[in-house]
Structure 1
Amino acid sequence: MPSVERIWDLRLTGTPRTSDDHSAVVNLFFRQQLVLQNLGSGITTYGDAAIVARTRMVLPPGFLRLPVETSVHIGYILDQFGVDHRDQSSFAMRIWDAARDLSRLHPRGVRVTAILDLTILEISEVGDWGMHGVMEQPDSEPGRVVRRGASKSAILGLKEKVYAAEGGDCCSICLEDFHRAEKVTELPCSHVFHRRCIIKWLEGSNSCPLCRSQLDT
Structure 2
Amino acid sequence: MAEACNGPPPQTFSHRLSHLTSQNLSGPISSSLQGDKMQSQDRPKATNEITMIRPQTVDQERPFAHLMGSNRTVDKDNVVQWLNNSGDSITYNMGYRNGRLLVEKEGYYYIYSKVSLDAEEECLYFQHEVWRDTTAYGKPIQLLKSKRPRCLTDRPANRNPSAVDDYWNSFLAGIFELNKGDGIYVKLDSKEKRLPDPADNLLGGFMISEKHPRPTQ
Q: Which has the larger radius of gyration?
A: 2
| TM-score, scaled relative to structure 1 | 0.21
| TM-score, scaled relative to structure 2 | 0.21
Instruction: From the two aligned structures, give the one with the greater strand fraction.
Output: 2
Instruction: From the two aligned structures, give the one with the greater helix fraction.
Output: 1
